[in-house]
Structure 1
Amino acid sequence: MPAKSEAQQMAAGAALAAKRGEKKVSELEGASKQMYESMDEKELEKMASTSQKDKPTHNRKS
């Protein structure tokens, strides 16, 4: 699933770094921590690699 906003893409990148051992899990908070716990590395990689072009900074809730 591609990221819907720049913030979501960045959170996925942080969670992916923790999954790979490049960042401490204790440093994660909020959305990145939830993503770390609920998604596997392949899902995180797909979301983190989404282009930020034409993406809003934050996705507004309807």
Structure 2
Amino acid sequence: MPARSKAQQRAAGAALSVKRGETSKSKLKGASRDMLESMTEKQLEDFAKGSTKGKPERLG
């Protein structure tokens, strides 16, 4: 399932980077920290991939 907003996509990308060992966990905040702990690498990949074209900056 792809992200529904640009903010979700960025948060998933940041969490994915930490899960792969490319970034330190201390750099995460908010939603990306929650995503890291609650989602698998495959779920994060699915959320982070795809185009941002046509997506709102934030939901709600």
The two structures share one fold, judged by TM-score above 0.5: yes
Alignment of 1:19-58 (within 5 A): 19-58=19-58
Identity of aligned residues (%): 58
> Which amino acid counterpart does residue 16 of structure 2 have in structure 1?
L
- Length, aligned pairs only: 60
Q: Distance in 2 between matches of 1:4 and 1:50?
A: 11
- Aligned-pair Cα RMSD in Å: 0.6
Query: Please, which runs of 5 or more residues in structure 2 have no aligned partner?
Result: none
Runs of 4+ residues deviating >4 angstroms: none
1:51 to partner: Cα distance: 1.4
Structure-1-length-normalised TM-score = 0.93
